[in-house]
Structure 1
Amino acid sequence: MNSAPQKLQLRPEVGLVGGVSLIAGVMIGSGIFMTPQTMMRNIMSAGASLLIWGCSGILCMLTALSYAEMGTVIRESGGDYIYILRTSGRLMAFIYAFIFALIKRPCSAAIQALTIAQNAVSLFYQGCPPPALVVKAVAAVVLLLVSTINCMNVRLTIAISIWLLAIKFIVLAIIAIGGLIVLFQGEAVGLQNSFEGTNFSIYAIGMAFYQCLWSYGGWGNLNYVTEETTRPEVILPRAIMIAIPLVTVFYLLVNVSYLAAMTPREMMFSTAVAVTWGNKVLGGWGWVMSIAAALSSFGSLNGSFFSGGRVCFVAAREGHLPDILSMVHVQRLTPSPALIFTTIISLIVLIPGDFESIVNLFSFTGWFFNGLTLSGLIYLKIKKPDLPRAYSVPIIVPILVLLAAVFLVLAPIIDNPRLEYLYVTLFILSGVVIYVPLIHFRLFPGLLDKLTVFLQLFLEVAPTDKKL
């Protein structure tokens, strides 16, 4: 008997453990080792810093639970992109894909790769800054390695995420326990007069949240791979309710540990707060924190590559990016063209920059699109309450998060307008100039057909099933 040919499609292999590792594994990256000092420069006090870390965890939890409902109503991979497409239309979805594919994900990957390289190379250049060329070369190798792993096998990628997540929790536990020991010894130098000197300006609070929320980035990671998640209506909310509270508790304990060993001023002027903590608390073993930060960032980069490549894949499948990016490898069933594309753009933007400024701009655009997605959820709750949904949050939850998103987008602009935000806004609007002729009116059909056929044969990829 001849069996019907099976259409290619991504294989659902992400269970609860894999889902938790994808969320927590990406959340615990370079942020907790890099942003506490930049955040402290804005808010200026230990008490306010810890308060913002806690509030950020609650905000991410509420946002992620809202996204979990979207994931059970719209059971497609792609995260924000697919939700905006289904609720706000093709133009806004294209603009999101345009920003994500060319700016947000590649620059995020480049920052993480540079963080890994900086920490790894610093072991060989103790006492002096490592050469920029060496750092960039190592970062490029890291990007190529992570891309290769993700192109090879989904199970391998998930397995690496799980093992590195275990290492991350061990490292954070060491920092937390070390801080508790310092507290019991009565040497909590940074926690005395906790709220003294707090900067209460709207701009400072907004910037502090930007830096803190960068460390929590990854809470929506599982929504990018819904089609590869077994029973997403169950896995999505459960993974969120396990991963985010766990990460929040660890982040609070780690920051208490930092402040137990350092004053706020010492944190502000530290180039790598975890390494400074290690030198103070672990003494001769302080170098271990450099390795820990590198491994943590590698796990985060691996997880974000896995999920981020799916956004390009889904956007191409919907006709918003070149067709080649919507194809999967005929044997490995991984979206290798989309992953390779992300790698190439990441290598192009692999230029050392101002970490704090890049994070602020990412947060500005990120929360703009988060607000757009949450508006779509509120619309579905009010206008289409009968849609089947295996999981639901009270409507007050997305409303509160939407208000927070509006604050995070507008607060920096109103309190301290800067040209950078104008440039980002103009770049977002430039997507319209590309969308109208190329996507809406399709003025140049078949422009990339020959290149698509060549790459399809060279990469051994084929189109996927468009169901769901």
Structure 2
Amino acid sequence: MAKVSATEGLTPKHIDFGSESGDKDDESSQGVRLKKELSLMNGVAIIVGVIVGSGIFVSPSLALKYAGSKGMALIVWVLSGFLSMVGALCYAELGTMIPKSGGDYAYIGEAFGPLPSFLYLWVALFILVPTGNAITALTFAQNILKPLWPACTPPEDAVTLIAAVITCLLTVINCYNVKWVTRVQDTFTAAKILAFLVTFAASLWYLFSGHTENLESMMQGTITQPGELAIAFYTGLFSYSGWNYLNFVTEELKEPYKNLPRAICISMPVVTLVYALTNVAFFAVLTNDEIHASEAVAVTFSEKILGVVAWIMPLFVAMCTFGSLNGAIYASSRLFFVGARNGHLPLAISLIDIRRLTPVPSLVFMCLVTLVVLMTNNLESLIVYVTAVEALFTLCSVAGLLWMRYKRPELTRPIKVNLLLPIAFLIICTFLVVFSCIRCPQEVGIGVAFILLGVPVYCVFIKWQDKPSWLQTACNSFNVACSKLFICLPENSKEL
């Protein structure tokens, strides 16, 4: 068994993954490191599995609320998918130009330096990732408990407890074996696609039975105010969030230059088609009032059309959210692992389990933060809050792509998207952020304030080099204690 000396300091490793030709040498090295185990289909399963989660079951009523009509809501869903596809293609260029794990964190750091990249890590650590995971876990718990309370809402304490249990269970699976993670992801991705096909088939049966009244006058009541439409797009974009998660694990993807863009080009059209067909199914069966009044559109849909087998829809939703949460935990833990490896988080978070070669401390830390966030329950505000903050940093990443086209033209770009794509993406996202500030200034303002709060944190804990010796000793003792507790070592360390 490996031993770690308490007298030895642990130091972060700065690894350059700038060339694919070094992959074989990296994998054959004897140091402790994450392994390349993700195939193309695993990558597709991660993207589809992470995206298709709680959003499609939470957002339809909110999108309809702000779009005003079913026709405009459907347009919002399709355009949100198209915008996400454009963003994903831009990230394909970034991911093959900078083949490092960490996604936006790595790209913003390469383009604009350590402070902006730290601010992204800061917000992702305490807002983006734990909030998204908490929403998905709560949606899973609500739907898995729904058959036990068919006539009312499941007790809040029971929902929170189940959400916490499933978060911890999936964290344990992620800690134990990456192959287990990919098997779970592949299985549940296939299951959720089947679930959506059943939903659409049921709606077709309903339509062919002569019930077409809910699809008549689909544009009636359309809202055209920019602020309202911006929030409608936010609810749609929230459901597509996760399209950049494969970029978080680029270092574990086999042949990333080929498989990253292929996975994006396969998965995004699939998700957009699935979402469009699912919304058509909901809109065909349910009236506007029924959708507005429902907190769980899929459950209302099943109760109206599936009769005695209505219980199957909560089960489908639970499967979707289970797979989504599994993929999100896997991918986002690598973000914090990379941030800690670069010295922007405690070094303990960048340690790797010497037996299973998984970033156990990062996974455990993220699980703890998610458990704290599970107490939050204002879903509509959370969606606006999270999506607005995420949009700001997505803008930074795509702006970084344009900046590096100008400042660093010598970089190898296996994929080079048409310049109009990132420019159009920047313009559209800028308008969405500006109009959402007008419509929901409080939620966006809180997000911006939290971003700015990261500046003094960076100055004190990262920029300040001459820290008191007692603080440095305490930090090192904490790192060594975590190394012993989890039997982990820094990346590329030799087993003793």
TM bracket (short chain): over 0.9
Q: Which residue of 2 aligns with 1:36?
A: 60
Any idea what the Cα deviations from partners look like across 1:254-302, whole Å, max 9, x if unmatched? 1111111011221111111111111111111111101111111010000
Q: TM-score, normalised by structure 2?
A: 0.91
Give the residue type in structure 2 aligned to 1:277: F
> 1-side partners of 2:158 and 2:56: how far apart?
24
1:329 pairs with 2:356: no
For 2:352, what is the secondary structure of its paired residue?
Answer: strand
> Structure 1 residues 167 and 91, CA, compared in 2 at 3 Å: closer, same or farther?
same
Contact 1:328 1:463 in 2 (8 A): yes
Distance 1:228 1:92 in 2: 25
1:387 to 383, 388, 411: 411
1:216-365 aligned within 5 A: 216-365=240-389
Residue 417 of structure 1 and its aligned partner are, at CA, apart by 4.7
Which of residues 218, 226, 235 in structure 2 aligns to 1:194?
218
Paired position in structure 1 for 2:463: 440
Tell me the amino acid that sits aligned with residue 475 of structure 2. L
Match of 2:486 among 454, 459, 468: 459
Q: In the alignment, what sits opposite 1:24?
A: 48
Deviation at 1:188, TM superposition (A): 2.5
In structure 2, the partner of 1:155 is: 179
Tell me which residue corresponds to 1:133: 157
Which residue of structure 1 aligns with residue 14 of structure 2? none
Amino acid at match of 1:289: M
CA contact (8 A) 1:189 1:259 kept: no
- 2:121·2:339 contact (CA, 8 Å) conserved in 1? yes
Residue of structure 2 equivalent to 1:431 = 454
Q: Distance in 2 between matches of 1:169 and 1:107?
A: 25
Alignment deviations for residues 2-39 of structure 1 (CA, whole Å, 9 cap, x no partner): xx971121101111110000000011101111110111
- Answering whether residue 78 of structure 2 is matched by residue 54 of structure 1, we say yes
1:320-353 Cα offsets, whole Å, 9 max, x none, are: 0000011110011111110100000111121141
RMSD (CA atoms):
1.3
Q: Secondary structure at the match of 1:59?
A: helix
Query: After TM superposition, where is structure 1 displaced by more than 4 Å over at least 4 residues in a row?
Result: none
After superposing the two structures, state which structure 1 stretch, 103-112 or 92-101, moved more: 103-112
Give 1:446 shift: 4.0
Secondary structure of the corresponding residue to residue 44 of structure 2: helix
Q: Match for 2:215: what amino acid?
A: L
Aligned residue in 1 for 2:134:
110
SS of the equivalent of 2:411 reads coil
TM-score with structure 1 setting the length: 0.96
Structure 2 unaligned runs (5+)?
A: 1-27
Percent identity (aligned): 37
Which amino acid is the alignment partner of residue 109 of structure 2?
L
**Pairwise CA distance, 1:71:** 0.5
Query: 410, 419, 422: which is aligned to 2:442?
Result: 419
| Equivalence for 2:122 | 98
User: What secondary structure is seen at the aligned counterpart in 1 of 2:141?
Assistant: helix
Paired residues, number: 462
Q: Work out the CA distance in 2 between the residues paired with 1:62 and 1:326.
A: 32
Q: Quick one: distance in 2 between partners of 1:298 and 1:410?
A: 34
* 3-state SS of paired residue (1:448): helix
Q: How far apart are residue 171 of structure 1 and its match? A: 0.3
Cα separation, 2, equivalents of 1:112 and 1:55: 23
Distance in 1, Cα, partners of 2:297 & 2:380: 14
Work out the CA distance in 2 between the residues paired with 1:154 and 1:8.
Answer: 15
Task: State whether residues 114 and 352 of structure 1, in contact with CA within 8 Å, keep that contact through their aligned partners in structure 2.
Answer: no
Pairing partner for 2:239 from 209, 215, 220 = 215
For the Cα contact (< 8 Å) 2:384–2:444, is it kept in 1? no
